[in-house]
Amino acid sequence: MLASLSVSNIVLIEQLTLDFEPGLTVLTGETGAGKSILLDALGLALGSRANFGLIRQGSQSAQVSALFQISRSSPVWAVLEDTGITPEDQLILRRRLKADGKSTASINDVPVSVGLLRQVGDLLVEIQGQFEGRGLLDTSTHIALLDRAAGHHELLSELTQSWHRWAESRQALEQARQQLSDAKAEEDWLRDAVQSLDHLAPQTGEEASLLTERTRLANISKIGESMAVGENALFGDTGAQNALGMAVTAFEKAAELAGGPLDEALSALQRAEAELAEAGSLINAASNSLEADPRQLEQLDDRLHALRQQARKHNCDTDALPQIHQTLAARLAGIEDQSGQIGAMQDAAAQWKERYQDLATAVEAGRRSAAQQLDAAVAAELAPLKLEGAIFNTVITPLDESQWGPKGTSTVRFEASTNKGMAAGPIDRIASGGELARFLLALKVVLEASNDPRSLIFDEVDSGVGGAVAAAVGERLARLGESVQTLVITHSPQVAAKGQHHLRIYKTASDDTVISGTEVLGDAERTEEIARMLAGETITAEARAAATALREG
Where does residue 500 rank: exposed (0-12), middle (13-18), buried (19+ CB within 10 A)? middle
Query: pLDDT tens for residues 85-99?
Result: 888 889 999 999 999
Q: How many CA atoms lie within 13 A of 407 on its CB side?
A: 18
Can you tell me the distance from the alpha carbon of 272 to that of 283, in angstroms, rounded to the nearest whole number? 16
| Helical (H) or strand (E) element with 392 | strand 391-398
**Residues 480, 499 contacting (CB under 8 angstroms):** no
| Residues 6 or more apart in contact with residue 187 via CB below 8 angstroms | 332, 335
pLDDT range class, residue 372, cuts 50, 70, 90:
very high
pLDDT of residue 464: 67
Average pLDDT of the chain, as a whole number = 85
Instruction: Kindly give the interhelix angle for 206-218 and 220-235, rounded to the nearest 10 degrees.
Output: 60
| Residues 6 or more apart in contact with residue 439 via CB below 8 angstroms | 136, 378, 382, 387, 390, 392, 414, 416, 427, 431
**Residues 437, 463 contacting (CB under 8 angstroms):** yes
pLDDT surpassing 60 at residue 150: yes
Average pLDDT of the segment spanning 68-81: 88
By C-alpha distance, which of 492, 475, 465, 464 is closest to 381? 475
3 state DSSP class of 85: coil
Average pLDDT of the segment spanning 290-316: 83
Query: pLDDT tens for residues 423-457?
Result: 888 876 776 666 777 777 888 888 764 556 788 88
Can you tell me the distance from the alpha carbon of 385 to that of 343, in angstroms, rounded to the nearest whole number? 60
Beta pairing, strands 455-459 & 125-128 = parallel
By C-alpha distance, which of 99, 89, 100, 108 is closest to 45? 108
Query: pLDDT tens for residues 484-511?
Result: 899 998 888 999 999 999 998 887 766 5
The most confident of 137-151, 254-268, 306-320, 417-431, by mean pLDDT: 306-320
Residues above pLDDT 90, as percent of the chain: 33
Query: pLDDT tens for residues 513-528?
Result: 656 778 899 999 999 9
By C-alpha distance, which of 475, 506, 508, 480 is closest to 492? 475
The DSSP line for 30-71 is -TTSSHHHHHHHHHHHTTPPP-GGGBPTT-SEEEEEEEEE--
Average pLDDT of the segment spanning 30-34: 69
Strand order in the sheet with 90-98: 13-19, 2-10, 61-69, 90-98, 103-107, 110-112
- Residue 171 has phi, psi (to 5 degrees) of -65, -45
* Angle at alpha carbon of residue 386, lines to 385 and 387, rounded to 5°: 90
Query: pLDDT tens for residues 305-346?
Result: 999 999 999 999 999 999 999 998 887 877 766 667 788 889
